Chain A
Amino acid sequence: MTDRHPLFIPLVLVGGLVFGFGLAYSQMARPEVVLDFLQFQDFGLLFVMFGGAVVTGLTFLLAPRFLDRAPLTGDRFERRLKSFDRNVLYGGAIFGVGWGLSGICPGAAYASLGIGNVTILWAIGGMFIGAYAQGYWRSRTTDTDPAATGAD
Chain B
Amino acid sequence: MVTELLPLQLAAELFPNGIARYAIGGLLVGLGTAIIYLGTGISAGASTFLESTLSYGSSLSRFQQYVSSRDWRVVFTLGIVLGAAAFAATFQSGVLSSSLYQAGSTGELYEFAGVTFWSTDVQPWRLLVGGVFVGIGTRVGKGCTSGHGVCGVGSASKTSIVGVVTFLLVAILTAQLVAALGVSP
Contact = CB atoms under 8 A, between A and B. Distances in A.
B94 interface: no
Interface in A17-46: 17-33, 35-36, 38-46
B153 A53 contact: yes
Q: How large is the interface on A (under 10, 10 to 19, 20 to 34, 35 or more residues)?
A: 35 or more
A121 to B, nearest CB: 9
A19 B178 contact: no
A30 B68 CA distance: 32
B interface, over-half SS: helix
**Interface SS, A side:** helix
A135 B51 contact: yes
Given A52-B29, A148-B62, 15 more contacts: A11-B40, A16-B78, A24-B87, A29-B84, A35-B175, A43-B14, A77-B41, A94-B141, A99-B133, A102-B127, A106-B144, A106-B146, A107-B144, A114-B86, A114-B88
21 contacts: A8-B40, A9-B75, A13-B76, A13-B79, A16-B83, A17-B32, A17-B86, A25-B91, A29-B84, A60-B43, A75-B41, A93-B166, A98-B137, A122-B131, A123-B128, A123-B131, A126-B128, A129-B131, A129-B135, A135-B58, A152-B45
